[in-house]
Amino acid sequence: MPDSSLSRPKKHESRIKKVAILFAGGPAPAANAVISAAAVSFLRNDIKVVGVKHGYSNLIDFDTAKPLVEGADYVMIDHHMLSRTRNRQGIMIGTARANPGKGIASPAHLEDVERAQPLKNVYEALRSLDVDALVSIGGDDTLKTANKFKMYQDRLPEGSPRIPVVHLPKTIDNDYRGIDFTFGYFTAVDFLAKSVRNLLADAEANNNYFLVESMGRSAGWLAYGVAIAGEASLVISVEDIAGNYRTTEEYTDPASGETHTREVMNLDEVIRRIVLTMTTREREGKQYGVVVVAEGLAELLPFKYLEGAKRDDHGHIKISDISLYDIFSRLIAEEYKRQTGKSRSVKPVQLGYEARCSAPHAFDVMLGSQLGVGAYRALVEEKRDGVMVSVEGQLQLLYVPFEDLVDPETLVTVVRYIDPESDFHKLTRFLETYVNEEDLVG
């Protein structure tokens, strides 16, 4: 029978008989679209699918004397399990932040038996299940882990079984090199923007302000999207901390007693810039507004605000220990009173977690589904190893090698910031309250 546009995709011969799918890091809308589309693509081509439960947490301490348990550590995914799952909320195989690559900070560390042991455990755990390939789904930290897992296998003795790995990019922060937009980003933006619009209505009714801290650790994509769609009065993210809004400070590390110099936010100038938006709006007859700040600004706070903050397995400051939104709200109210002699209510609100498992929008389901199918096509059709699946244009698939995304010396990824000269960045400046920065009060 001749091929037609209605013909099912051709089967391809493959040595892969069983594939593992693993999701790590924070949740994102459309996670199940990715998992489901990947799984069904393999199943329809007679490849068994193992759903690894809760990221690397059940693999990282694997011991051959204690086999993995089906149901507790993994599930065998079948067609029945996948019925009507692409639009389902949550993550059907769970997630976790366990990091088997934590001790590997350079290629040389892979030669260190103790440092590489967690990666060895992951390899042996997957081999114990007869897994032939791994689909990794997660953020940039999970991408780093996938790359380290591949590099670990590159150093195995000749003839050792290899587990090819492909990675699917996930983050509602959208700060990923190699792809224009990550799945879940637009759903999260829409969900949080609705909250901002609700706060804006409340602010107008009560003649007050809300200071909203939005998720977005490293870059401002989420904060900017929320501000644009939520009609905020002003948005500030890490990309905006430049020029007069950036300075340096010396601080003493309490652990070592050593003095260091670091670049930080010029907090006084940033606060004055926010108050300028407020006073400008007052001259326009608007006694209310919503200001959005990205949580990543916490990393740029002067050291006195960061003392005692804990760090996670990836070295990131625990934002929840900082209360950026409380700090900003208090300082804004104080500066406003200093400038005007009047009191002004600035209510702090933190937004983000509410969006991570919200019902996905159609675009994210489509994008996530294509990435899932792309995992099958990369491993089986393209016989790839060590690539990130990406899309461009009208969901056209691309396969980006890990080495194009990860620094070969430090094994870290490069954050994709918003370009301050980009039209995306300029969009919000056109839409928010216009101010004359020459009016800033010293």
- Residue 320 maps to a domain: yes
Q: Is 331 left (phi over 0), alpha (psi -120 to 50) or beta?
A: alpha
- Give residue 246's pLDDT: 95
Same domain flag for 371 and 286:
no
As a whole number, mean pLDDT of residues 381-410 equals 96
As a whole number, mean pLDDT of residues 38-55 equals 97
Residue 101, pLDDT above cutoff 60: yes
DSSP reduced 3-state for 310? coil
Confidence of residue 5 (pLDDT cuts 50, 70, 90): confident
- What percentage of the chain exceeds 70 in pLDDT? 96
- Give residue 3's pLDDT: 65
- Give residue 314's pLDDT: 53
| Pairing of β 133-138 and β 387-392 | unpaired
- Residue 4 maps to a domain: no
CATH number of the domain at 171, please.
3.40.50.450
- Residue 252 maps to a domain: yes
CATH number of the domain at 276, please.
3.40.50.460
| Pairing of β 387-392 and β 396-401 | antiparallel
* Dist CA 260 CA 270 (whole Å): 23
Same domain flag for 42 and 83:
yes
- Residue 432 maps to a domain: yes
Residue 19, pLDDT above cutoff 60: yes
What element of type H or E holds 395? none
What element of type H or E holds 175? none
- Residue 9 maps to a domain: no
Is 11 or 156 the better-scoring residue by pLDDT? Answer: 156
- Give residue 164's pLDDT: 98
Same domain flag for 29 and 155:
yes
Same domain flag for 143 and 66:
yes
Same domain flag for 371 and 400:
yes
- Give residue 313's pLDDT: 56
Under a CB-based contact definition with an 8 Å cutoff, are residues 87 and 360 in contact?
A: yes
Taking the whole predicted model, whether its pTM rises above 0.75 is answered as yes
- Give residue 2's pLDDT: 54
- Residue 430 maps to a domain: yes
Same domain flag for 242 and 349:
yes
* Dist CA 62 CA 20 (whole Å): 16
Residue closest to 110 by CA, chosen among 123, 128, 97: 123
Edge-first strand order for the sheet with 48-52 is 74-77, 48-52, 18-23, 133-138, 165-169, 387-392, 396-401
Same domain flag for 103 and 213:
no
**pLDDT tens profile 144-163:** 999 999 999 999 999 999 99
Beta bridge partners of residue 86, listed in sequence order: none
- Residue 396 maps to a domain: yes
Same domain flag for 298 and 379:
no
**pLDDT tens profile 171-219:** 999 999 999 999 999 999 999 999 999 999 999 999 999 999 998 878 9
The count of domains in the chain is 2
- Between the CA of residue 328 and those of 267, 298, 335, 356, what are the distances in Å? 9, 10, 10, 24
- Residue 283 maps to a domain: yes
Structural domain harbouring 124: 18-182+360-404
Confidence of residue 440 (pLDDT cuts 50, 70, 90): confident
Same domain flag for 218 and 90:
no
Same domain flag for 42 and 177:
yes
Same domain flag for 137 and 39:
yes
- Give residue 361's pLDDT: 94
Same domain flag for 246 and 324:
yes
